[in-house]
Chains A and B, each alone.
Chain A
Amino acid sequence: MSTPLVSVENVTKSFPVQSGGLWSRSTDSVHAVDGVSLEIESGQTMGLVGETGCGKSTLARCIARLYDLTSGRVVFDGRDITTLNRREMREVRRDVQMIFQDPYGSLNPRRRVGSIIGDPFTIQGLGSGKEIKVKVQELMERVGLNPEHYNRFPAEFSGGQRQRIGVARALALRPKFIICDEPVSALDVSIQAQIINLLIDLQDDFGLTYLFITHDLSVVRHVSDRIAVMYLGQVVEVADAEDLFETTRHPYTRSLLSALPDPDPDIADSQRRIVLVGDLPTPTNPPSGCRFHTRCPKARHDCVVTIPTLEPVLGDGPAHCTACFHPLAVGEDLTLSTPAIEDSEILTAQPALTSASSAAESGPKSAATRGGESQ
């Protein structure tokens, strides 16, 4: 293996939340991302999947340094970018770009499309007005927009076209690495395929490296070389895409895969679904040991007391790591398993209080809006 383009080392990001009463001063913290390590090879696509609130978007924003890390470090292209100041970071931003989920919220409605796409050039001080216009029109053509629409406003474009504008903006400085945060989730099925094709073509043409965040497992399987699965701020399994689907090890990954409805009636009828009990626990007070033990069909006593490490299990190669004490064997039927832990052992199994989780969500969102424009 060559040196990875992006290397995430033990990254933790926590947000303060107010706990107790309205007037109480005590603050707690939500560990949105808790000790995550990942490596992304140059020219590859790393898929990142997980449910709402598992910290996948927070991790992405940490990697792009839209957030400062609480601890850990991010190494991009051999350079530790964790402690760079604003000016140094601006250089790195030429190589690290981001595409956002909401094609409506991530474009300023009062600015013309040409100037939105031209922003990266202006911010980096590259080229005169005329040169920028030529470059922007080239970009628009490349992503499948009509260059004559240079002077239009975002409102005059459909959702799919707006996402193309977002792609053009991210592509402007010929970055090495693009973080795609749910780039197709807001789009209709027929349009989704257009954008996925565009992203694949651009990767082939420019040798781009992607971090592709989504909750849609069929999309992530289609685009990714490797996939990491997150649960409550931690990576529970990471493997080559096909490997993850074929020899799933972690019970959470298996549950996630089995929950995906298949658009084929025969498969849908024969599918044995693992319906997880309960809700996602609150990240302010995560369960002890393995964080999945409160919902895991294979939970045993050791899962409650010891934290599993992310490592190859059951003879897997070094590329397939799982954080689980009781991983699934190939072909094992998870529906036959029942947890063997006492209810009293599940200390923190109370359902997530929305007050805590919504506070955790509102933080990333407001920061994202700022990040979207400042790139």
Chain B
Amino acid sequence: MALLEVRDLSVSFHTPDGVVEAVRGLSYDVERGKTLAIVGESGSGKSVSTQTITGLTRGAQISGSALFNGNELLGASASTLQKVRGAQIGMIFQDPLSSLHPYYTVGWQIVEMIRAHRKETSKKAARARAAELLGLVGIPRASQRIDDFPHQFSGGMRQRVMIAMAMALDPALLIADEPTTALDVTVQAQVLEVMRTLQQEFDTAIILITHDLGVVAEMSDDVVVMYAGTVMEKAPRRTLFYLSHNPYTKGLLASLPARGGRRGRLTPILGTPPSLIDPSERCPFAPRCPSAFDRCWHERPRLDPVSHDAEHTSACWLPHDVAGGLDDPVPARGGSPVDVNPAPETQEESA
């Protein structure tokens, strides 16, 4: 059994403009000690999905199920969730400054966090643990800097403090929501390194939410690609980068400036992301898809296995028997070992 099993999660919000369907029927598993990357552009629902699992989306209509260690999290009482958050599921967010309290020293905040969950811990022991954690995430002179306030740390150091706090109680799962987006590349490299080391040491599972495909290629074991609240494609890392099936995934990969390639036009995905207030039952990517045909405009595709590989699924009406190639005008970057196999657009998948 996986550590976290999310099944058919849907989240919607009522707004004056209509019902915003932020997440529609999302399913994934997170295995112990592995990293699942959730990639998507702004508004794809990648953050809302994990916030819902940890009970942080108030006022939302939620359906589906999220089993963590066999316990249902959706609809769990506030006090149950309070016990799970922090102790069993650690969280780090994009902006470390607004996640830390400016009036308290970082040591105080970590001690508070430890003692809130483990009341039997003495203040002294908790403080020693906090110093140890700060050292573990690579903060120099940790035993002195424990009494510093958040504003006395640089951005990268603050994110390390957040990681130390998230890992304080040795959680089984760490949710990292764009942890390095606000950081410079050299600092990003340091923070990713810390996350990787801690994962190996404590066998923590990580959900890494990001829009940066470079970070995904480096950190993930499995990848979920989201668009307009739904999963477009789900695959192990290499399969996703080298043998992607879904036109949206391919579009994302193709729109990156290639390493070594200079000038020449890029291949963007045309158009703009769709409104989430859209009751229609078409494929959400159809208006921007270079391979869209009739069926895409009338029926929402299911997430079906690609070339009979249960680990690789794609929500697309294009034939599922071949991964990678197909009649796509945009070949996957990195070169696929599978021959491009033109298939007539009207051919429907008998799934």
Report which A residues bind B (CB closer than 8 A): 51-52, 158-161, 188-194, 196-197, 200-201, 215, 217-219, 221-223, 241-242, 245, 255-256, 258-268, 271, 273, 275-276, 278-280, 351-355, 357
Known: A217-B185, A260-B185, A263-B213. A241 touches B268 (CB 8 A): no
Interface residue stretch chosen among B68-76, B167-175, B248-256: B248-256
The answer to whether B268 and A190 have CB atoms under 8 Å apart is yes
Known: A188-B41, A188-B273, A192-B255. A266 touches B156 (CB 8 A): no
The answer to whether A215 and B185 have CB atoms under 8 Å apart is yes
Is B349 an interface residue, CB under 8 A from the partner?
Answer: no
CA distance A191 to B41 in the complex (A): 10
Q: Which of B181-217 contact A (CB under 8 A)?
A: 184-190, 192-193, 211-217
Query: Of A188, A200, A261, which is in contact with the most chain B CB atoms at under 10 Å from its CB?
Result: A261
Is B58 an interface residue, CB under 8 A from the partner?
Answer: no
The residues of B that contact A219 with a CB separation of less than 8 Å are: 257
The residues of A that contact B253 with a CB separation of less than 8 Å are: 263
The residues of A that contact B184 with a CB separation of less than 8 Å are: 51-52, 215
The residues of B that contact A51 with a CB separation of less than 8 Å are: 184-187
Known: A191-B268, A222-B262. A262 touches B218 (CB 8 A): yes
The answer to whether A241 and B262 have CB atoms under 8 Å apart is yes
The answer to whether A242 and B214 have CB atoms under 8 Å apart is no
Is B122 an interface residue, CB under 8 A from the partner?
Answer: no
Given contact pairs A259-B186, A355-B151, enumerate 18 new A-B contacts (beta carbons under 8 Å).
A52-B184, A189-B256, A190-B255, A191-B268, A194-B268, A215-B184, A218-B259, A222-B262, A241-B262, A255-B186, A261-B212, A261-B217, A263-B217, A263-B256, A263-B333, A265-B217, A268-B218, A279-B154
Give the distance to chain B from A51, nearest Cβ to Cβ, in Å: 4
Query: Of A191, A215, A219, which is in contact with the most chain B CB atoms at under 10 Å from its CB?
Result: A191
The residues of B that contact A160 with a CB separation of less than 8 Å are: 272
Known: A221-B262, A255-B186. A189 touches B213 (CB 8 A): yes
Chain A to chain B contacts (Cβ below 8 Å), 12 pairs = A52-B155, A191-B268, A191-B272, A193-B255, A217-B185, A242-B262, A260-B214, A261-B188, A265-B238, A267-B259, A276-B189, A354-B153
Give the distance to chain A from B259, nearest Cβ to Cβ, in Å: 6
User: Across the two chains, which residue of chain A brings its CB closest to B190?
Assistant: A275
The residues of B that contact A256 with a CB separation of less than 8 Å are: 185-186
CA distance A357 to B156 in the complex (A): 14
The residues of B that contact A351 with a CB separation of less than 8 Å are: 154, 157
The answer to whether A222 and B263 have CB atoms under 8 Å apart is yes
How many of B's residues come within 8 Å of A, CB to CB? 53
CA distance A223 to B262 in the complex (A): 7
Is B152 an interface residue, CB under 8 A from the partner?
Answer: yes
CA distance A245 to B188 in the complex (A): 20
Q: Which 8 A-B pairs have the closest CB atoms?
A: A261-B214, A193-B268, A222-B257, A190-B269, A193-B255, A193-B266, A188-B41, A263-B213
The answer to whether A223 and B241 have CB atoms under 8 Å apart is no
Is B237 an interface residue, CB under 8 A from the partner?
Answer: yes
User: Across the two chains, which residue of chain B brings its CB closest to A271?
Assistant: B218
Is B265 an interface residue, CB under 8 A from the partner?
Answer: yes
The answer to whether A218 and B257 have CB atoms under 8 Å apart is yes
User: Across the two chains, which residue of chain A brings its CB closest to B288?
Assistant: A190
User: Across the two chains, which residue of chain B brings its CB closest to A195?
Assistant: B268
Report which B residues bind A (CB closer than 8 A): 41-42, 140, 151-157, 184-190, 192-193, 211-218, 237-238, 241-242, 251-253, 255-263, 265-270, 272-273, 333-334
CA distance A73 to B335 in the complex (A): 49
Give the distance to chain B from A213, nearest Cβ to Cβ, in Å: 14
User: Across the two chains, which residue of chain B brings its CB closest to A159?
Assistant: B42
CA distance A273 to B185 in the complex (A): 11
The residues of A that contact B211 with a CB separation of less than 8 Å are: 188-189
The answer to whether A200 and B263 have CB atoms under 8 Å apart is yes
Query: Of A258, A262, A268, which is in contact with the most chain B CB atoms at under 10 Å from its CB?
Result: A268
User: Across the two chains, which residue of chain A brings its CB closest to B227?
Assistant: A190
The residues of B that contact A223 with a CB separation of less than 8 Å are: 263
CA distance A265 to B243 in the complex (A): 12
The residues of B that contact A357 with a CB separation of less than 8 Å are: 154
The answer to whether B218 and A196 have CB atoms under 8 Å apart is no
The answer to whether A197 and B265 have CB atoms under 8 Å apart is yes
User: Across the two chains, which residue of chain B brings its CB closest to A252?
Assistant: B186
The answer to whether B189 and A188 have CB atoms under 8 Å apart is no
User: Across the two chains, which residue of chain B brings its CB closest to A282?
Assistant: B154
CA distance A293 to B216 in the complex (A): 32
The answer to whether B154 and A352 have CB atoms under 8 Å apart is yes
CA distance A268 to B216 in the complex (A): 10
CA distance A67 to B251 in the complex (A): 41
User: Across the two chains, which residue of chain A brings its CB closest to B40?
Assistant: A188
CA distance A245 to B189 in the complex (A): 19
CA distance A197 to B263 in the complex (A): 9
The residues of B that contact A194 with a CB separation of less than 8 Å are: 268, 270
